[in-house]
Every structure is written in C-alpha cells, then in structure tokens.
Amino acid sequence: MTQAIGHKTASCFLRPTRAEDEQFLFRLFAESQEHLAAFRPNAELYRSLIETQYRGRKQSYSAEFPRAVDAILCLEDEARGTLPVGRILVDCKPERWRIVDIAVLATHRGRGLGSWALWLCQQRCEAAGAKLALAVRPENRAHQLYERLGFRVTHEDLLTVEMVLDIVSLASHTRIEPLVSAL
C-alpha cells in the first residue's frame, strides 16, 4: 500500500517479527494500555504494571497460540526510511483465522494502516476458505471500525466483544500455509 502523508508518500508493508523488535513491541503495548492511565503519575508503579502485563500477555499468547503468525506493520518513508508502526498477530487454523492482536502506534492511527492490515488478512483468509475472528474490549474505539469492515458480534460480556467476519468461500477450501508472506 502506498499512501500520501503530508506531501510525501510512504509505502506500507508487513514483515516477520524479529528478536530486535522487542523494545518496539513493549512500547506499542504500553501505549495501548489506556485502562492503566490513572497510574501514570507514579512512574515506577506504572512501569512495573506495564512490564508485568506485557510479560503475562506474551506468555499467554505463546501458550495459547504457539503457531500464530507475528508480523510488524512498517512504513517505508522517503525521509525517515523504514519505521515500525504496528503489529498484527494471527492464529491461522483451517476453518478459522483469529486476529489475536492488532495495534498501531497512536501517532499513526487514523491513516488507514490498521484497516489495510485487516484487509490484507481478510484477503488471505478468504483465499483459505476460513472465517476471520477477533476480540476487542467493549470500550475500544476499534470496535466501530471492525463493524464498518463487516465484522459481526457473536458474543459480548463486560470484558470482551467477540466478532467474526464470515468469508468462507464455498468454491474453494484450500488451506494456505500460515506464513507472513501469506499475510
């Protein structure tokens, strides 16, 4: 995807997550923890909470989705080179792909980058003949984006809204191997 940012153009692409992305992933996670904002004045406590939750989430994802495809959303900018701006983590099973995590840095939200990553995932999922699912917190503004993109609520409680995009192709049930290049 190429898009205009100001008067310059930038290309968007996905690449596999690497070990050296750990600091970026921590920053992205910390930025998205708006429910902990009340603790920010106490920097030490806030950092401790974020670190604990980050480690817990990382362990949980590894245990629950050991074969998930983990990709970094990047912008190739004329002036600044390649910038990591987001992440998408997708668990690809034959009947259902689950977007485990998708996040974009606050400074890059509202530019269509997350929508592009979702669209790309949807295209690959459709080719695989699977449903595409995700979960979001009820207060997360992305909930409305997902509905605009065609996701429908399948379950909702106080903590989570489960959503699915039924894009099963009846003509083809060929499984695409879950590789970042497939995303």
Residue 168 has pLDDT above 60, yes or no: no
CA nearest 12: which of 68, 82, 71? 82
Which pLDDT score is estimated for 5?
A: 42
- How far apart, in whole angstroms, are the C-alpha atoms of residue 29 and residue 26? 5
The rounded percent of the chain whose pLDDT value lies above 70 is: 85
Strand partners, 87: 72, 103
CA nearest 12: which of 105, 100, 90, 140? 105
Residue range(s) defining the domain that contains residue 19 = 2-182
Structural domain count of the chain: 1
Strands 8-16 and 2-5 turn out to be antiparallel
CATH assignment of the domain containing 64: 3.40.630.30
Q: CB-based contacts of 67: which residues, under 8 Å, 6+ apart? A: 91, 92, 178
Model confidence band, residue 8 (pLDDT cutoffs 50, 70, 90) = very low
User: Using the 8-state DSSP alphabet, how is residue 73 labeled?
Assistant: E
Which pLDDT score is estimated for 10?
A: 62
Residues 45-57: tens digit of each pLDDT: 999 999 999 999 9
Higher per-residue pLDDT: 168 or 73: 73
Model confidence band, residue 167 (pLDDT cutoffs 50, 70, 90) = low
- 5-19, 23-37, 163-177: least confident range: 163-177
Residues 116-159: tens digit of each pLDDT: 999 999 999 988 989 999 999 988 888 888 988 889 999 999 99
The 3-state secondary structure of 88-100 reads EEEEECCCEEEEE
